[in-house]
Amino acid sequence: MEWIGLDEGFRPVGALRCLNVQWNRRYYEAGDFMVQLRAADFDAGVRYVYAPQRPETGMVEKVETERSIKGDFVLLSGFFLEGMLSWKAVYPGVTATGNVAEACRGLVAAHMADTGVAVAAGPVPAGDGFLNANGEPLSEVTYGALAQLEMGQRVRLDYAGESLRYEVWQGLDRTQSQTANPYAVFSQQFGTVDALLMTRDTSGVRNYAFALYENGVVGVDVRASAQVPARVLVLDTGLTLSQWQSPIALRQAAQAAARAELARRAEVLNIDATVLQTHLAYLRDYDLGDRCDVRDDRLRMAFEARITEVNEVWKDGAHAVTLQFGNRIPTAYRW
C-alpha cells in the first residue's frame, strides 16, 4: 500500500514510511484514520494523507508525539475529507421534498464554496425523500437524508488537478436475490469470514407515528403487518402552510418527516465480521456500501446487509480487514 503526504495545497511532500495505519471507511458518516511514523521520518509540512488505492483522503487534524523504549514516534490522525461538511451549518433553514441527492448537492454547493469543495458533474442516484434543517451541521443533514435511501457521499481529491469534488453514490447490490452483479456471501461455512459478532436491540423501536403540523395531524404506519403491536411516537414536525404551496403538500411533508424519524428508531442489528481474503477479495468482489448476504451459521439466520464500515489495519507487514453491516433484513433459513 502506498501512502503519500500532501501539503496544504495538495502537493506531494513525499512518501510516508508508516509503521502502523488504521483506515476506517464509513458509509453513513465521515471516516477517520491514524498513522504512526518514526519521529525521524516526520515532515511537519504534511497536511493530508493520500492513498491512490482508496477514494478517501485523510486530513491531518491532530499530531501527537510519543516516546518509548522502542524510540520516538509521531501519530497523525483526523477525519477523511468528508469531515469538512461538519464545518458548516445549514442556515438559513431549508425544507424540501424530491430527489435527495440533488438536494444534498445543492446544499453543498451553497455552503462549501469557500473550502474549495465543488459539486462533481454528472448523473446522481434516483430517489425521493424529505429534508428539513435549520442550524444543524451540514454533515448531519446530508448524511441523514441520504441514509433514508441507503446512499453515501464523498469528497474526493482530484490528485492530478489538486481539487476537491463532492459526489453522492451508492454501493452495488451483491446479494443472491439479484442477477446484475456477482454475489458476495459472508459466512463461516462459505470460508469468507473468520468470526461474526451480532448485536440485536429492539428497545428503541418505534413503528407508528402521529405527525403534528400546522392545524393538522397525520398517522404514519411502518409496521410489516397490522398484527405487529404499534410502538407509538408523537412527532411535532413544526411544519407550517407558509412553507408549502398547498395543504396536500404540507401533509405529505409531515408524513415524510415522520418516516425519516421512524427510520432512525428502527431495530438495531449490528454485525461485526472479520473477513478472510481467500474466496472473496476486498475491493475486487466487495467494497464499502455494497449490499451482500451475511449468514450466522450458529443461529441459522441470514441477512441482506449493506457494508456500512470497513476497518483496515496495516501493521508488521500484514493487512487485516473488518466489516460492519447496517440496515439488515433478517430471514431464517434451514440447513
Looking at the structure, tell me whether residues 297 and 191 fall in a common domain: yes
Determine the structural domain holding residue 235 and report its residue range. 208-264
What average pLDDT does this structure show over 99-122? 94
Domain-embedded: residue 224? yes
Number of domains the chain is built from:
4
Residue 133 falls inside a structural domain = yes
Q: Which residues pair with 75 in a beta bridge?
A: 36, 64
Across the chain, mean pLDDT equals 91
Domain C-terminal end among 22, 45, 79? 79
- pLDDT tens, position by position, 175-191: 999 999 999 999 988 88
Of the three residues 248, 264, 280, the one that is the final residue of a domain is 264
Amino acid at 136: E
Mean pLDDT of 230-250: 89
In a domain, 180, yes or no: no
Task: Read off the pTM.
Answer: 0.87
19 and 58, same structural domain? yes
In a domain? residue 179 = no
- 203 by DSSP, 3-state: which? coil
Q: Is 322 found in the same domain as 196?
A: yes
Tell me whether residue 253 is in a domain.
yes
Reduced DSSP (H G I as helix, E B as strand, rest coil) percent helix, strand, coil of the chain, to 5: 15, 45, 40
> Do 192 and 293 belong together in one domain?
yes
Is the domain of 89 the same as that of 143?
A: yes
> Residue 300: its pLDDT value, please?
82
- Residues 260 and 321 reside in one and the same domain: no
Element (H, E) at 219: strand 216-221
Same domain for 250 and 222, yes or no, is yes
CB-based burial label for 191 (10 Å; 0-12, 13-18, 19+): exposed
Q: Is residue 175 part of a domain?
A: no
Same domain for 165 and 54: no
CA–CA gap between residue 318 and residue 110 (Å, rounded)? 43
Q: In what order do the strands lie in the sheet with 48-50?
A: 12-15, 4-6, 48-50, 57-59
Cell 459526489 belongs to: 167
| pLDDT tens column, 123-165 | 888 888 878 788 899 999 999 999 988 999 999 999 888 899 9
In this structure, the answer to whether residues 193 and 283 fall within a common structural domain is yes
Q: Is residue 213 very low, low, confident or very high in pLDDT (cuts 50, 70, 90)?
A: very high
Q: Are residues 234 and 112 in the same domain?
A: no
Q: What's the CA gap between 185 and 251, in Å, rounded?
A: 42
| CA contacts within 13 A on the Cβ side of 165 | 14
Q: Give the DSSP H or E segment for 117.
A: strand 117-119
pLDDT tier, 335 (very low <50, low <70, confident <90, very high otherwise)? very low
* Residues 6 or more apart whose Cβ sits within 8 Å of residue 249: 97
Quick one: 315 and 192 in the same domain? yes
The predicted structure's pLDDT at residue 331: 53
Residues 39-86: tens digit of each pLDDT: 999 999 999 999 999 999 999 999 999 988 888 999 999 999 999 999
Q: What is the DSSP string of 264-331?
A: HTSPEEEEEEEE-SSSS-BTTTB-TT-EEEEEETTTTEEEEEEEEEEEEEEETTEEEEEEEEEEEEEE
CATH of the domain at 115: 3.55.50
Stretch 4-29: mean pLDDT, rounded? 96
pLDDT at 334 over 70: no
Rounded-to-integer distance, Cα 108 and Cα 326, Å: 25
94 — pLDDT class (breaks 50, 70, 90): confident
Higher-confidence residue: 256 or 323? 323
**Is 243 part of any domain?**
yes
Is residue 34 a part of any domain in this protein? yes
Percentage of the chain lying above the pLDDT 70 cut: 97
User: Angle at Cα 19 formed by Cα 16 and Cα 22, nearest 5°?
Assistant: 90
**Percentage above 90 pLDDT, the chain:** 64
Same domain, 273 and 324: yes
